[in-house]
């Protein structure tokens, strides 16, 4: 019995989440999405032909599944430890291997999706939301969010002239090309260095899965002189005079300022700000996870 338990523990440690099909898709495809309560929701398939609805989040390192739905969809549950695995005080997490995940006509991808709860989101939109597709699904792909047409496109490569950028037109850049910052050894998130709030550069995550215009950590708020900082309670609404994305300027931008020690503060260690879906909806946004750039274009 002890030998079996030890073997099961070793198997769990070796069950590190992985994703297949991490190369760009060979042909372009697209799928409509709905934009509800700030969430980018799209119809997907799991197990090749089982329909589910998911949120697309370019800022989530891991895809998530609502653990309450495992039995309904007959999916297994596993646990493993965060790397590096030492065998002592390892941090464990639970996940399910979800086979043959796809959106539109993209290649099917088997994902190890971590457990979470989608109950609040499902309640807000009034129907079941299966989970979140994150960067482990987008890795190696080129995905374009056309908010004007409510379509997400998966492209074999970035549009031909997109990576060249564009000069000023009528006093403002119409296309901005922003390099993604390296995040972890095997993961690149769309963290952008060239973002300035009131003239001060703050590393900013571009996340279609966060319902906000801009959220700021307490350290970013302090850097911008947005005092007093909120206490450990709800974030405080504030405003910055200018937001500069490379050469594109947005004025009078509402922000949410989080308290020191809040969950938001604890989670955001590699960046000080998150530009979410409410801001990104003003652009056609291409995330090229192959060439590691984000392209923002005004309609």
Range of weakest confidence among 89-93, 100-104, 255-259, 273-277: 89-93
117 contacts 67 by C-beta, under 8 angstroms:
yes
For the segment 22-33, what is each residue's pLDDT rounded down to a tens digit? 445 667 899 999
**pLDDT at residue 3 is higher than 90:** no
- Asked if 229 contacts 218 with a C-beta cutoff of 8 angstroms, the reply is yes
C-alpha to C-alpha distance for 287 and 259, rounded to whole angstroms: 30
Mean local confidence (pLDDT), 151-178: 71
Cβ–Cβ < 8 Å for 192, 294: yes
More confident residue, 230 or 89: 230
What predicted TM-score, i.e. pTM, was given to this entire model?
0.86
Task: Give the model's confidence band at 1: pLDDT under 50 very low, under 70 low, under 90 confident, else very high.
Answer: very low
Contacts of 276 (CB under 8 A, 6+ apart): 38, 207, 208, 209, 210, 211, 212, 213, 214, 215
Note the pLDDT tens digit of each residue in 187-228: 789 999 999 999 999 999 999 999 999 999 999 999 999 988
How confident is residue 91, by pLDDT bands cut at 50, 70 and 90? Answer: confident
Apex 207 CA angle, 206 and 211, nearest 5: 125
In terms of Cα–Cα distance, which of 226, 231, 204 is closest to 215?
A: 204
Is residue 269 predicted with pLDDT exceeding 50?
yes
Both tokens assigned to 85: 């695995």
* C-alpha to C-alpha distances, 197 to 200, 228, 248, 255, 284, nearest whole angstrom: 5, 18, 12, 11, 22
Percent of the chain with pLDDT over 90: 64
Distance (Å) of CA 109 to CA 103, 117, 242 = 10, 22, 40
Residue 35 clears pLDDT 70, i.e. is over it: yes
Q: In sequence order, what DSSP letters do the residues of 193-255 get, joined into one string?
A: S-EEETTEE--EEE-TTS-SSEEE-HHHHHHTT--SPP-SSSPEEEEEEEEEETTEEEEEEEE
- CA distances 93 to 5, 15, 61, 113, 115, Å, are 18, 11, 14, 11, 8
How does residue 87 score in pLDDT terms, banded at 50, 70 and 90? low
pLDDT reported for residue 17: 46
């Amino acid at each position: 019995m002890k030998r079996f338990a030890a073997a099961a523990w070793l198997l769990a440690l070796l069950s590190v989440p992985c994703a297949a099909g991490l190369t760009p898709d060979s042909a372009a495809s697209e799928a409509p999405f709905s934009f509800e309560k700030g969430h980018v929701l799209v119809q997907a398939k799991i197990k090749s032909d089982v329909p589910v609805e998911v949120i697309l989040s370019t800022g989530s390192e891991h895809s998530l599944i609502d653990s309450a739905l495992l039995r309904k969809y007959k999916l297994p549950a596993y646990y493993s430890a965060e790397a590096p695995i030492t065998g002592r005080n390892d941090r464990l997490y639970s996940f399910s291997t979800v086979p043959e995940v796809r959106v539109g006509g993209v290649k099917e991808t088997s994902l190890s999706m971590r457990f979470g709860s989608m109950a609040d989101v499902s309640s807000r939109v009034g129907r079941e939301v299966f989970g979140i597709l994150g960067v482990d699904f987008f890795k190696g792909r080129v995905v374009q969010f056309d908010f004007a047409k409510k379509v997400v496109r998966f492209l074999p490569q970035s549009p031909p002239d997109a990576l060249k950028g564009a000069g000023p037109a009528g006093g403002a850049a119409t296309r901005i090309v922003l390099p993604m910052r390296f995040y972890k050894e095997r993961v690149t998130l769309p963290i952008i260095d060239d973002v300035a709030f009131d003239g001060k550069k703050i590393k900013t995550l571009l996340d279609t899965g966060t319902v906000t215009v801009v959220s700021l950590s307490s350290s970013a708020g302090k850097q911008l002189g947005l005092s007093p900082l909120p206490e450990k309670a709800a974030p405080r609404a504030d405003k910055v005079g200018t937001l500069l994305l490379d050469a594109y300027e947005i004025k009078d931008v509402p922000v949410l300022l989080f308290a020191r020690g809040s969950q938001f503060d604890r989670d955001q260690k590699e960046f000080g700000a998150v530009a979410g879906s409410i801001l990104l909806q003003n652009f056609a946004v291409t995330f090229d996870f192959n060439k590691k750039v984000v392209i923002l274009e005004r309609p």
